[in-house]
């Protein structure tokens, strides 16, 4: 398998006042195509910061980050926006769906930004909503959906651009056990059937138990990188 994410010596230091906060301290990491990875660790360990840097939502203070063979740390802000849109899928704890759009329109939205023809947008969005088990909810707005259903729409949306990988930041934090199990089943099936790469930041033991690889951060450093239970 070829690597889709490579980081070398990634550091991130925040200076909210005069005292520097070292969120990441020299992180070296390679994630290959088709992996199902959980990044774990206590609050403040650097999990979300690392995910944000991998996803181009934040920039490292030092180090090198290669995504799909390209050094995104050197991209301009506009180039980074385009790259995120076309190559990286995101699933957030808070769903982040657009309230006035239907499930179908939310999934289509990134393809609209990519200027895909309407017929192609519609076809792919319908296929993805079918894949996440929401054929009967395509015309529902977020307020009409349960939390688990909203998160499944978010997964479908993350896959719409056919990204190189999906980053999921605490995606099960607001879900009950049934919805969590359903969501993880969907993601695991996409991983196995389509070789879609998933990288989770999580505290949830249910996610950790399903991961093929578990990377533990503490004080901004990787202290463990092991195979998962699967």
Domain ranges of the chain: 3-227
**The pair of three-digit structure tokens given for residue 123, joined into one six-digit string:** 């076809």
Q: Which of these CATH numbers, 3.30.360.10, 3.40.50.150, 3.40.50.720, 3.40.50.300, describes 3-227?
A: 3.40.50.300
Rounded distance between C-alpha atoms, residue 51 and residue 7, angstroms: 11
> What global pTM score does this model have?
0.91
Q: Where are the beta strands (DSSP E) in the chain?
A: 3-14, 21-32, 36-40, 62-67, 70-71, 88-92, 165-169, 198-201, 213-218, 221-227
Rounded distance between C-alpha atoms, residue 15 and residue 19, angstroms: 6
Angle at 167 between CA 77 and CA 212, to 5 degrees: 145
Residue at token pair 């399903």: 210
Q: Are strands 198-201 and 165-169 parallel, antiparallel or unpaired?
A: parallel
Per-residue pLDDT of the chain (230 residues; tens, 9 = 90+): 789 999 999 999 988 777 888 999 999 999 999 999 999 999 889 999 999 999 999 999 999 999 988 899 889 999 999 999 889 999 988 888 999 999 999 999 989 988 999 999 999 999 999 988 999 999 999 999 999 999 899 999 999 988 989 999 988 888 888 888 988 998 998 888 888 999 999 999 999 999 999 999 999 999 999 987 65
């Amino acid at each position: 398998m070829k690597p889709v994410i490579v980081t070398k010596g990634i550091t991130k230091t925040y200076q909210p006042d005069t005292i520097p906060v070292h969120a990441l301290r020299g992180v070296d990491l390679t994630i290959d195509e088709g992996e199902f990875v959980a990044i774990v660790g206590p609050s403040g360990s650097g999990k979300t910061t690392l995910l944000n840097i991998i996803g181009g939502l934040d920039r490292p203070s030092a180090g090198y980050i290669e995504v799909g063979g390209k050094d995104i740390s050197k991209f301009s802000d506009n180039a980074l926006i385009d790259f995120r849109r076309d190559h990286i899928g995101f699933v957030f704890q808070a769903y982040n769906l657009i309230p006035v759009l239907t499930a179908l329109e939310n999934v289509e939205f990134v393809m609209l930004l990519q200027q895909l023809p309407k017929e192609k947008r519609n076809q792919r969005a319908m296929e993805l909503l079918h894949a996440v088990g929401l054929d009967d909810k395509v015309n529902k707005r977020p307020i009409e959906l349960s939390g688990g259903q909203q998160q499944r729409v978010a997964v479908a949306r993350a896959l719409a651009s056919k990204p190189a990988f999906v980053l999921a930041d605490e995606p099960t934090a607001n879900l009950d056990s049934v919805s969590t199990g359903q969501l993880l089943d969907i993601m695991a099936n996409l991983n196995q059937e389509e070789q879609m790469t998933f990288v989770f930041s999580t505290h949830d033991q249910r996610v950790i138990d399903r991961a093929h690889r578990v990377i533990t951060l503490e004080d901004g450093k990787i202290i463990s990188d092991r195979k998962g239970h699967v």
